[in-house]
Amino acid sequence: MLCNLDNLSALTPEQKSRFSLVKGDTGDRDCVDGVFGQRDLHAVVNFAAESHVDRSIEDHE
C-alpha cells in the first residue's frame, strides 16, 4: 500500500487530532472490530480504488 503522510502536513495539530489512519484489511473482521472498539467513529472511508472502476462507469454496457 502506498501512503504518503506528508500530504497531511498542511493540517493544524487540532485538525490532525480529528483523523486517524488505520492500515488494515476491511475484510479482516478482527481488525475492523478492533478499530470500532477503540474509537468513537463518525465515518469510515476506504480509499482503495482500482483503475477499471472508472472505465466501467463510462462504458457500463
Domain spans of the chain, in order of start: 20-61
Residue 61 clears pLDDT 80, i.e. is over it: no
Distances (CA, A) of 24 to 1, 8, 12, 21, 48: 10, 19, 25, 9, 11
Distance CA 26, CA 4 (A): 20
Of 2 and 47, which is predicted with more confidence?
47
Q: What is the pLDDT of residue 53?
A: 60
Q: What is the pLDDT of residue 1?
A: 44
Q: What is the pLDDT of residue 60?
A: 56
Each residue's pLDDT tens digit, 11-60: 898 988 887 778 888 889 998 889 888 888 876 777 766 656 666 666 65
Residue 10 clears pLDDT 60, i.e. is over it: yes
